Chain A
């Protein structure tokens, strides 16, 4: 076990996903490593007019009528993360003014807005819109937990969850807060499904990251939050830690609104800056949890970015994507994947890339196909890339003994 110099520890994790609809991170992790796949026929709306009809959904019967599913998932993951960190229920930290919150989301309470628009859409019928603004999720969580430090909603497409964690880690590293809860949430809805369908980005059956026969992504429900703490603060209260957020960077491609830079320059720049932030050389990275959407261009771009930034290690560096199991959860994806990295570090187990049927010469990586693999992991890199050429890299590091 290496010594951790980074001042930001992760002391709590909550993950709501189709593999763990109750927010139980251990259920999420064991199902993920067992190779469970949650991508199936959509039930939450009528997808029959679409050529693709699959997604990774949470059973909506658990969510009450009129309750916004994003709000529901966020609250559950948030509470589980706080409980895991040992904070009192309903109280983020006993030092509320020194505790912050960052929520990453692309859609926020979109279901509330869709209900409004499906009606007459008038200002008079505006009350459902209270839960609609992107910041509504963060405001609700902050009120529930009594958080009086900075509260931020970040919306950086599919990198939102990673950016939320990175920004919160910077707050702590700068001394602005002692603790912060950070993560992301987004709920599947026809609004986003119809858009990705129009972009021809959706698979019709399975998500096959890095496989030559990959046919696109599947959208999914998800929320995840991490409790981050200044190391001295966590240790003073006797908290145990999953590891540290040791580095973060988020650079733009500046190339195209929907397509990634073909050479992965923005993502490779983010990896390099992230490693510099962590004070680690490229060869310190033991595992990469890729964005790995299962679309043609993302997966090619990502392999080039990893090669460009970490270079020369080829198949000696395991790189897996969990989107074959839980789909693409948008604003939650980066947070769920950061949680997976921390659990991989804890258990010495790499989550598999599902449905890897054919080698793709453009993805010449060890993608940990189909079965979880034991491996000692000290430093894990979690990558995100999204619309607008938005990239993010997080470096998660094993905690000191």
Chain B
């Protein structure tokens, strides 16, 4: 079975300062209002949950889906980077300070990388395929690639996919620094897409292909694999967007793969695992040529690259 994969809704949340975080609170209160969890309540302990939840809620709303969803057919694949590691740091510092009594049974479960994904499944009642991937900067792209494959292969009809990040305090910034990057300013963000199977004639876009590459020539390899899945050539492309990594390397890589058109850098390119889905959503919101497909490409500092080929519009 091979089906079309359509983007029905997108959600993005970007916080770059205290003012942004304050503006988040009323949106969050409004979004969680319809949620009823028997014997429980919506409780979010970290900013990364809040941004991921809002992005997911927006993506569902954009696709005309009410939540809680409550269907076995809707799943989620989320990319998480080092953004959760400040939660781990809090747990461990408390144990160092107070021994066994420092470990909180309420806080510890949030040190699991899949806790953010799990919270979304609970709040939105998503009982379909679920996974959390942790590929650093590329994890948002990897999540979209896995989710799109699940829809294409007929394993699910509808799935949320994207990434969330929270680059805040010491540990996460230390990792950025250790891996050769610039720690930059604290920031939180999430980008999530709602993907559905063919038949979606009012969709925002269609995902035609996805590919990854490693080592020398990784960008060109990722683009070539992406085009191969799409059974497409570079001549059909209307543009290419860099969603993270060195723009010069990525520009050279997409040209090596045969692309000759316009190349641009997304403003959210420093948003780690959220960057890729935020870039896809951003391009779909811009006025653009009606024809042709565009590439979103990213590379990381550890030898990987990913590429997604997207065509605007629904089923043709």
Contacts and interface: CB of A to CB of B under 8 A. Distances in A.
Interface of A: 49-51, 97, 106, 108, 110, 113-114, 116-118, 121-123, 125-130, 132-135, 139, 142-143, 146-157, 163, 167, 170, 174, 176, 190-191, 194-200, 249-258, 265-266, 269, 273, 277, 386-390
Given A97-B221, A254-B121, A254-B126, A116 B40 contact: no
Interface string B118-159: 110110111111111111100000100010010001010000
A390 B122 CA distance: 11
A135 B134 contact: yes
B105 interface: yes
Interface size class of B (residues with CB under 8 A): 35 or more
Contacts of A110: 88
A197 B100 contact: yes
Nearest to A196: B108
A312 to B, nearest CB: 22
A388 B103 contact: no
25 contacts: A113-B85, A113-B92, A121-B171, A126-B178, A139-B302, A143-B303, A148-B218, A149-B212, A149-B214, A150-B212, A155-B113, A156-B114, A174-B149, A191-B88, A195-B91, A199-B109, A200-B105, A250-B130, A251-B130, A255-B122, A256-B122, A257-B110, A258-B109, A387-B114, A388-B118
A191 B122 contact: no
A252 B109 CA distance: 16
B108 A198 contact: yes
B45 to A, nearest CB: 10
Main secondary structure of the interface of A (DSSP, over half): mixed
Interface string B88-99: 110111011001
B250 interface: no
Given A156-B132, A199-B105, A126 B146 contact: no
Contacts of B127: 251-254, 265-266, 269
A389 B75 CA distance: 13
Interface of B: 40, 72, 75-76, 80-82, 85, 88-89, 91-93, 95-96, 99-100, 102-105, 108-115, 117-119, 121-122, 124-136, 142, 146, 149, 153, 155, 170-171, 173-175, 177-179, 183, 212-215, 218, 221, 225, 302-304
A256 B115 CA distance: 10
Contacts of A253: 121, 127
Nearest to A138: B135
Contact of A195 (B99, B103, B122, B155): B103
A277 B129 CA distance: 13
Interface centre among A174, A194, A251 (most CB of B within 10 A): A194
A191 B92 contact: yes
B174 A123 contact: yes
| Complex A-B, nearest 4 residue pairs according to Cβ-Cβ distance, in ascending order | A388-B118, A195-B108, A155-B113, A198-B103
Nearest to B104: A198
Nearest to A277: B155
Contacts of B304: 151
A257 B109 contact: yes
B114 to A, nearest CB: 5
B122 A130 contact: no
B130 A390 contact: yes
Nearest to B302: A139
B35 to A, nearest CB: 12
Nearest to A142: B214
A252 B72 CA distance: 9
Given A191-B88, A265-B127, A273-B155, 7 more contacts: A126-B174, A149-B214, A156-B131, A195-B91, A195-B105, A251-B75, A266-B127
A49 B95 CA distance: 11
Contact of B112 (A106, A117, A121): A106
Given A116-B171, A197-B103, A127 B178 contact: yes
